[in-house]
Amino acid sequence: MNWIIYVIGLTVSCVLAVILTPLVKKFAVWFGAIDVPNHRSVHTRIMPRMGGLAIFLAFVATFFIISPALNDFDTHVVLGLILGGAIIVFVGALDDKYNLSPKIKLAGQLAAAGVVIAFGMQIDYIKLPFGDAIDLNSWISIPITIFWIVGVTNAINLIDGLDGLSAGVSAIATSAILVLAIMMGNLTVIVISLILLGSIVGFLFYNFHPAKIFMGDSGSLFLGFSLATLSILGFKSATIVSFLVPLAILGVPISDTLMAIIRRKLNKKPIFTADKGHLHHCLMGLGFSMRKTVLIIYGISLAFGLCAVLLTKASQWGAIVIVVVLLLVMEVGAEAIGIISKSRKPVLRLLRRLLPASVRRTSK
């Protein structure tokens, strides 16, 4: 009977998001939560934001609708996710309206992370590719959990630059977590992932290019927070899964964030200074349309998700091969599109030197 509940949860959350998003759109316009184009924007008209409120409401409503039918389900952790998510959505909604300072937003994220920890969700140990799991004391576990939640939350927020981009990448990451949860038989993560996935897909009907509403910080922060919490729930007790799996699932937002930090350091700019050097900016700079850019990044996200699944099945040496190949492809791709630097391309130069002269002439 579980599969019936799964289908109902996915369907109801999707339908609710479809119904709620137009209502939230009207509320956003009335509330004044609108996005005005600036020098960093790729859109040219004023758009309502705060769409994340529709995702959150669909998620919460669906959970309470199907929760009476759930057995062997950890309701306690879901309530922690909902309460922490409510804080995140509230802060994000205020930011969509008033453009809050980074300190206030960080305070909200820390408060939400604190709620998650208070409800018993934290990283208890780390499983390395070689050796046994490393148990973490609470004074180490709590800071690592907070760092993970805040980091992933902001990583999803940073990629929210094109129609449907952040929502689509989050949906793919949620799907990867869902697949792994099914493989491990984790009922709680399966249900949460399905409800979250349905809520995102329903919202995407209005957010994919050409978008009718933006999710805003209320949405990108909530999705980042939810993915960070789901990854903790899904992998904290699975000793067969290394710490690389959640990193792979969230590969696109995490790598884009890390490259942004490196890029700004190389250019001697503050880390938190906004720029137009993110992955989607670089792809559009190569001539790809907004829709094609989003679809390319979807494909990259799917590749990361596949790597995450393979890592759970691979031997230790197989995992090393997967990680090395993945890192090499990421570096070559980053240098090719100039996401870190337009001039520093050491790996590409090395590869060109290793290629036969006839191949180098052909490539030119």
| Domain segments of the chain as ranges | 2-240
Q: Indicate the average pLDDT of the chain.
A: 85
Indicate the pLDDT class of residue 201, thresholds 50, 70 and 90.
Answer: very high
Query: Which has the higher per-residue pLDDT, 237 or 195?
Result: 195
Residue 100 has pLDDT above 80, yes or no: yes
- From residue 117, alpha-carbon distances to 142, 186, 210, 233, 314 in Å are 7, 20, 39, 11, 31
Contact status, residue 115 vs residue 84, Cβ threshold 8 Å: yes
Q: Of the candidates 161, 148, 169, which has an alpha carbon nearest to the alpha carbon of residue 303?
A: 169
Q: Provide mean pLDDT across the span 12-40.
A: 89
Q: Per mean pLDDT, which range of 99-108, 155-164, 234-243, 336-345 is the poorest?
A: 234-243
Spatial separation of the C-alpha atoms in residues 148 and 161, rounded to whole Å: 22
Token code pair at residue 97? 């309206």
Query: Which has the higher per-residue pLDDT, 248 or 243?
Result: 248
Spatial separation of the C-alpha atoms in residues 173 and 177, rounded to whole Å: 6
Token code pair at residue 232? 């903790």
Spatial separation of the C-alpha atoms in residues 233 and 120, rounded to whole Å: 10
Token code pair at residue 99? 């453009």
Number of residues that this document lists for the chain: 364
Q: Per mean pLDDT, which range of 40-49, 288-297, 331-340 is the poorest?
A: 40-49
Contact status, residue 221 vs residue 55, Cβ threshold 8 Å: no
Per-residue pLDDT, 8: 93
Spatial separation of the C-alpha atoms in residues 130 and 39, rounded to whole Å: 47
Residue 241 has pLDDT above 50, yes or no: no
Q: Per mean pLDDT, which range of 68-77, 87-96, 146-155 is the poorest?
A: 68-77
**What does residue 94 show for φ and ψ, rounded to 5 degrees?**
-65, -40
Per-residue pLDDT, 130: 56
Indicate the pLDDT class of residue 1, thresholds 50, 70 and 90.
Answer: low
Query: Which has the higher per-residue pLDDT, 355 or 55?
Result: 55
Indicate the pLDDT class of residue 110, thresholds 50, 70 and 90.
Answer: very high
Spatial separation of the C-alpha atoms in residues 314 and 320, rounded to whole Å: 9
DSSP secondary structure code for residue 67 in this structure: G
Q: Counting Cβ atoms within 10 Å, is residue 4 exposed (0-12), middle (13-18) or buried (19+)?
A: exposed
The percentage of residues in the chain with a pLDDT greater than 90, rounded to a whole number, is 44
**What does residue 109 show for φ and ψ, rounded to 5 degrees?**
-65, -40
The percentage of residues in the chain with a pLDDT greater than 70, rounded to a whole number, is 88
pLDDT in tens, 210-219: 889 999 999 9
CB atoms within 10 A of CB 212: 15
**∠ CA 344-347-350, rounded to 5°:** 110
